[in-house]
Amino acid sequence: MKRILLSLAAVTLLLGISGCSLKITRPMLKMVVKGSNKVSTDPAYADSLEKSLSLPYVTDGTPSQVLDIYYAPEGIRKDAVLIDIHGGFYVAGKRENNRRFASVFLREGYDVVLVEYRVNDGVTDISDELKDCAAALDFLAGNAERLRLNSGRMFLTGDSAGGHLALYMAEGASDPTVPIRPEVFKPRGVLLNCPAYDFASFASGKGFSKGALSWFIGPRYEDKEYLDSVSPRTFLGSYQGPLFISTCRNDFIRQQSLLLKSDCDSPGRKTDFMDIDSKEMKVGHVHNVISPLLEESRSVNGAMMEFMERSLQ
């Protein structure tokens, strides 16, 4: 975890966050995701609870097409579910590394599901990641009774690339014209932490080198029609349910959250929005997920729970 935090801080410093002409290169991105595939063995509260691990959500799938379910203690269980889609810039990330983040919500009575998906490896790309997420969500909704989950009280959250995947899934759940969508799953609300949003803008040439783009997007990084088809911004109007967004001063893709907020504000749509203004480098990209004990992280995660409580009323 510390290695990931240091990597994020290093990239933040290199980019200067805003107004910097320096492009993000593939080596810089590798700094960000270097520790993402190394599964954390740090103990977490989630580990002590009832759980079902490595459940496959497709038949004859890969080791990455699985999910973990953690059940809140019976005495405080709210009969509501938080489904978490991890980040990793589309090329990395492991569901198990979000166990500490999951623990925050388990302590408050929410069941938590951690979803794994195939990442971009030069063959698999963002379309496959979206298909995996749709399959996972439909598996959860379609088997909710057997899994002891309430399909009518399912919230969807994602950080960074996972925020992109989560918002796109929510849009598809409401709009049959979205190219890749869940058929059964319907979210009660969506919570995004430092999300990627205007996916097509990544390939504009302003922020990322071609080497970086070909790595995290894949060979179709110059195909604007394709990029628009898998971008949450294209279908934002499709999802009209409760929406929570968090970012912070040191989030190296902060402009994505600001653009999402602006697009919501334009038609007068109300969202819950947090933009943490802190000079502390640890309070950076997805800080509330990778370091939930920070004071600022507690603030964001507390606001997430308040958002869910209101949405359940």
Q: Does some domain include residue 261?
A: yes
Looking up residue 253, the CATH number of its domain turns out to be 3.40.50.1820
For residue 233, CA distances in Å to 107, 132, 172, 216 come to 34, 20, 12, 18
240-293 tens-digit pLDDT: 999 999 999 999 899 999 999 999 999 899 999 999 999 898 999 999 999 999
Q: Report whether 26 contacts 215 (CB < 8 A).
A: yes
Q: Does some domain include residue 166?
A: yes
What is the C-alpha end-to-end distance of the chain, expressed in Å?
Answer: 36
Q: Which amino acid is at 82?
A: L
Q: Indicate the SS3 state at residue 128.
A: helix
Q: Does some domain include residue 43?
A: no
Q: What mean pLDDT is reported for the chain?
A: 90
User: CA-to-CA distance for 79 and 204, rounded, in angstroms?
Assistant: 44
2-32 tens-digit pLDDT: 444 434 444 444 444 334 456 778 887 777 6
Q: Does some domain include residue 225?
A: yes
The position carrying tokens 């379910």 is: 69
Q: Does some domain include residue 244?
A: yes
Q: Which two tokens stand for residue 38?
A: 């190394």
**pLDDT (mean) for 83-101:** 95
**pLDDT (mean) for 31-56:** 86
Q: Give the rounded percent of residues in the chain with a pLDDT score beyond 90.
A: 74
What pLDDT is stored for residue 7 in this prediction? 47
What pLDDT is stored for residue 4 in this prediction? 44
Residues 6 or more apart in contact with residue 147 via CB below 8 angstroms = 52, 69, 140
What pLDDT is stored for residue 130 in this prediction? 98
* Cα angle for residues 105, 57, 111 (degrees, 5° grid): 15
Q: Report whether 144 contacts 176 (CB < 8 A).
A: no
Q: Does some domain include residue 176?
A: yes
**pLDDT-wise least confident of 21-30, 170-179, 196-205:** 21-30
Q: Does some domain include residue 198?
A: yes
The position carrying tokens 């507390």 is: 302
Q: Indicate the SS3 state at residue 274.
A: strand
Q: Which two tokens stand for residue 1?
A: 């975890």
What pLDDT is stored for residue 35 in this prediction? 65
Look at residue 54 and tell me whether its pLDDT is greater than 50. Answer: yes
Residues 6 or more apart in contact with residue 260 via CB below 8 angstroms = 192, 195, 197, 198, 233, 236, 245
116-168 tens-digit pLDDT: 999 998 888 999 999 999 999 999 999 999 999 999 999 999 999 999 999 99
Q: Does some domain include residue 308?
A: yes
pTM equals 0.93
Chain-centre distance for alpha carbon 279:
24
What is the number of domains present in the chain? Answer: 1
What pLDDT is stored for residue 306 in this prediction? 98
The position carrying tokens 């290695």 is: 3
| Containing structural domain, residue 218 | 2-37+48-312
